[in-house]
Amino acid sequence: MLPARTDVRSRRLAGMHGEFKVPGGKLVVVDLELDGDPARIAHFHLSGDFFIEPGEALDDVRRAVEGLPASSTNEQIARAIHQAVGPEVAFVGFSPEAVATAVRRAIGQATGWRDHDWQLIRTEPLPPRVHLALDEVLTRAVGDGRIKPTLRIWNWNSPAVVIGSFQSVRNEVDMEAAQRFDIPVVRRVSGGGAMFMEAGNVVTWSLYAPAELVAGMSFEDSYRYLDAWAVDALRELGVDAWYQGLNDITSAGGKIGGAAQKRLANGGILHHVTMSYDIDADRMTQVLRIGREKLSDKGIASAKKRVDPLKAQTGLEREQIIDHMVDVFRREHGLSDSALRDEDLAAAQQLVADKFATDEWLYRLP
């Protein structure tokens, strides 16, 4: 159960505790009380396995947070800390923003993974446009509170080129090659780059989460946070994986996969990832227009060399990899088996007809 929220008119709310594990970093722990009407932060204590130099700056952080209104946003809390400590203080393994997230969790306006009852849906093989429509339908359902936060594992019944919401079709895809290979081109609701999908050769999943799970995080931090479990799972399979840039999961051999997000006004967040299990690199480079500008910051000359599929790295079957990833999510965050509701599938199929299968949607950026 979450702590009482700040609109409760109480002279003191004691013993409030919040934690935040920085993706790839350290654990930040805060304990505080709320005092007064309107409530302000009091008796603030910060601890964890992080480093801060000079150590005396910990007192500066405490003084910066104490007295702040309990309604302060993450940005306001982080700014107060930055102003109090100055540029010469080194935060190692954490940041003022991480402290702010832990504070908001303590007060009850940000949540952690275990605050939610996560559901697992493993869909049967479906057409690409139905998958994309399901992402919108299920994200909206979580934001509206009609379904619980969900991890959905995709299965494809055909190949596809999936372009980002803000990409131009002609700049990203050789349509003649796509038609020659009978590969449909579809547009998703999230941003990011074009992806070449082959049924049975990719591992794709979506998270449908409430905004509270990433409250106060930067977009970059939220990507790392939402995919930390997946990186853990890959490492347990012997893949030396890490997060690179905003949204790439990579290894020494090359890119493994990419993530994208879409945040809805109703508070639902879509975070989806596709990883390469195996790939027809020659066909990919014929269908996708991967230009020199896109490769210029990668230090390589060929798009083929950017990708290092999981089949080659692990020697495992695709389903074995997926099963292990589900097991890791279940172990780290909790997960109950569920199923796709008939009404959600019907809504997705209607959305395909109304949106995802239309030229207006695909060619909105020709």
d(CA 256, CA 274): 8
**Cα radius of gyration (the chain):** 22
Residues of the chain with pLDDT under 50: 1-12, 291-293, 295-305
CA 260, 265, 269, 272 dihedral sign is negative
Q: Is the distance from CB of 322 to CB of 203 less than 8 angstroms?
A: yes
Tokens 């601890």 sit at which residue? 47
CATH class in words for 12-110: alpha beta
Helical ranges in the chain per DSSP H: 57-65, 74-85, 96-107, 128-144, 169-172, 175-180, 219-236, 281-287, 292-295, 310-314, 318-333, 342-351, 359-362
d(CA 300, CA 64): 46
pLDDT for the residue numbered 24: 84
Quick: pLDDT tens for 205-259.
Answer: 999 999 999 987 888 889 999 999 999 999 999 999 999 989 999 998 889 999 9
For residue 153, what are the contacts with CB-CB under 8 A and spacing of at least 6? 120, 121, 122, 123, 204, 205, 322, 326
The predicted model scores a pTM of: 0.84
For residue 38, what are the contacts with CB-CB under 8 A and spacing of at least 6? 6, 69, 70, 71
- One of 3.40.50.720, 1.25.40.10, 3.30.930.10, 3.30.413.10 is the CATH number of 114-362, namely 3.30.930.10
Burial 103-113 (b: 16+ CB within 10 A, else e): bbbbbbbbbbb
Domain ranges of the chain: 12-110, 114-362
What letter does residue 124 receive in the DSSP assignment? P
113 three-state secondary structure? helix
pLDDT for the residue numbered 15: 83
Burial of 282 (0-12, 13-18, 19+ CB in 10 A): exposed
Tokens 């230009």 sit at which residue? 291
The amino acid sitting at 92 is: V
Residue 343: C-alpha distances to residues 137, 147, 174, 272, 358 (Å): 10, 12, 36, 22, 22
pLDDT for the residue numbered 14: 64
Residue 174: C-alpha distances to residues 105, 136, 180 (Å): 47, 27, 10
